[in-house]
């Protein structure tokens, strides 16, 4: 279990990653730069070689690229370039070793920019915003089930249990260029931001996540409780959570 906590100009931040109850290794990774208010969570693709390597490369590459990100304008071009570099870094590493061939990683990140949070993601790692005690998803999963729902081919209820939940359609290190989804949301005092892997959301309902974020006093306490809930639900996957107070 890897745990980090700290403070930043606007408040506290904490992240926690755990391999869960059933996995032998942890293919998740997380990191942050509180001084620059940049935070990243990644999930190496299970079943592919080198998932642990891919997620760590994703986090390290994105943090390095975003250290000098211009906070003026919409920040979108800088984020897309950072994703391009991380994608290339994973591909280079995969090409350098047969044991790493085919590795990839989902990712979700948040960066502060001119009074806003700018969130970028690829895959099924998610971002949520807690505001006035209510939980709001900021990202839409990049997987086959979500695409079928968006196309009207299956209902949202069917999508929640569809096998396509396990088929990620965007990731760093894939054979095609990874285009991140980007959303911008204004920051308000009292807001709480959550970045997480599907090891949390696959077994813990949004209502429970909302309860934890709304009632516990610190990001660190939230992280510990969310990981405990995932493991109490069987811990079928690695789980990583990062919580930031505005």
Distance CA 76, CA 129 (A): 20
Instruction: Judge contact between 109 and 62, C-beta under 8 A.
Output: yes
Rounded Cα–Cα distance for residues 22 and 222 (Å)? 23
pLDDT value at position 48? 73
User: How many Cβ atoms are within 10 Å of 36's Cβ, its own excluded?
Assistant: 16
Q: Which two tokens stand for residue 227?
A: 């990981």
**Residue 10 is part of which domain span?**
2-245
84 or 4: which carries more pLDDT confidence? 84
Element (H, E) at 56: helix 51-66
Q: Of the ranges 174-178, 196-200, 206-210, which one carries the lowest mean pLDDT score?
A: 174-178
Secondary structure letter of residue 45 according to DSSP: P
What gap in Å lies between CA 99 and CA 178, rounded to an integer?
22
How many domains does the chain contain in total? Answer: 1
Pairing of strands 38-44, 105-113: antiparallel
Distance (Å, whole) CA 214 – CA 133: 5
Q: Residue 47 sits in a domain of what CATH number?
A: 3.60.40.10
Check residue 7 and give its pLDDT.
56
- Residue 131 pLDDT more than 90? yes
Q: Which pLDDT score is estimated for 95?
A: 93
User: What span, in angstroms and rounded, lies between the C-alpha atoms of 192 and 111?
Assistant: 14
Report the pLDDT value the prediction gives residue 66, as an integer from 0 to 100.
94
Task: Identify the CA nearest to 7 among candidates 234, 219, 222.
Answer: 219
Q: In whole angstroms, how far apart are CA 25 and each of 1, 106, 205?
A: 11, 17, 25
């Amino acid at each position: 279990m890897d745990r980090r906590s700290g403070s930043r100009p606007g408040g506290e931040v904490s992240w926690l990653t755990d391999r869960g109850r059933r996995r032998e290794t942890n293919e998740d990774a997380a990191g942050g730069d509180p001084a620059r208010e940049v935070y990243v969570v990644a999930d190496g693709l299970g079943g592919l070689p080198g998932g642990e390597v891919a997620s760590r490369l994703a986090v390290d590459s994105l943090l390095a690229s975003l250290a000098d990100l211009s906070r003026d304008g919409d920040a979108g071009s800088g984020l897309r370039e950072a994703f391009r570099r991380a994608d290339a870094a994973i591909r280079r590493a995969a090409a350098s070793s047969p044991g790493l061939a085919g590795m990839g990683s989902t990712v979700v990140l948040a960066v502060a920019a001119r009074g806003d949070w700018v969130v970028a993601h690829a895959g099924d790692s998610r971002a949520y915003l807690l505001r006035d005690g209510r939980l709001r998803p900021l990202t839409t999963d990049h997987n086959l089930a979500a695409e079928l729902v968006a196309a009207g081919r299956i209902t949202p209820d069917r999508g929640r249990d569809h096998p396509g939940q396990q088929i990620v359609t965007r990731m760093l290190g894939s054979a095609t260029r990874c285009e991140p989804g980007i959303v911008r949301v204004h920051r308000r005092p009292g807001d709480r931001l959550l970045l997480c892997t599907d090891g949390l959301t696959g077994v813990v309902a949004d209502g429970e996540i909302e309860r934890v974020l709304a009632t516990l006093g610190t990001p660190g306490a939230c992280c510990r409780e969310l990981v405990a809930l995932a493991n109490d639900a069987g811990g079928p996957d690695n789980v990583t959570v990062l919580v930031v107070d505005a």
